[in-house]
Structure 1
């Protein structure tokens, strides 16, 4: 359990999307807004996050776009609708960064630092050493650790402990 009293108001929260904010689609990609389903409690969590973190940002690998499975316009609509739902629930979402590259060596693809560097360029006050990364995959934990962040692993596998 996170002790929110110990979190500096200057901290930035980095969140993965699939499996953390929304339910993953078994065996595939969330290709449009109709397929997007918030994880239980996710919208309520954004209300808490907005009180405790200076910035809340999403960093998400979305290679389905480059593979031709997901249309870029649909990905952008998902993010627009997701942000609107968060704001309507009295939460905040400062930015969403995504990487559509298939190539694992792409600077922007997690666990590489590109999306974090984009966030730092947009919000120079971000200090990675005072940031938290929440994810459900090893790549997200590596992303956070490589940048000196505290990492929080969420196990969203059925029957996971």
Structure 2
């Protein structure tokens, strides 16, 4: 059983790791000159993870106002990274989906992050024990994220046709 002091130490260590992961993502986006902010990139990742979504649902997932999401998606649409559409059975809701270019951008950034994380793990001489891997898997699951293999499966189909219409 973890003591309160150990719990606090783990939370602080994870907070530091979280900052470093955000820094890795920001560096990768900047190096690619993708002209995408971290919040915009997070929206793209969520669309890659869950597929097409109602704009209201994506705003809730990102914890932003619908008007903020609208402006964000205006920018992403101008960059040809997302597209808006209406489903035949739901004309009132606006849906968002990745375009192939949006999916490819997410994939390239994720692969670059993987490369950089591999170098960090090598430099830190981290022991990839089963206990360490299990801990990380439990943290990923508790945070609501998908295991890596499942995430890549979802990414692979994230820009497939919607309602039989190929995305631009």
TM-score higher than 0.5 here? no
More helix by share: 2
More strand by share: 1
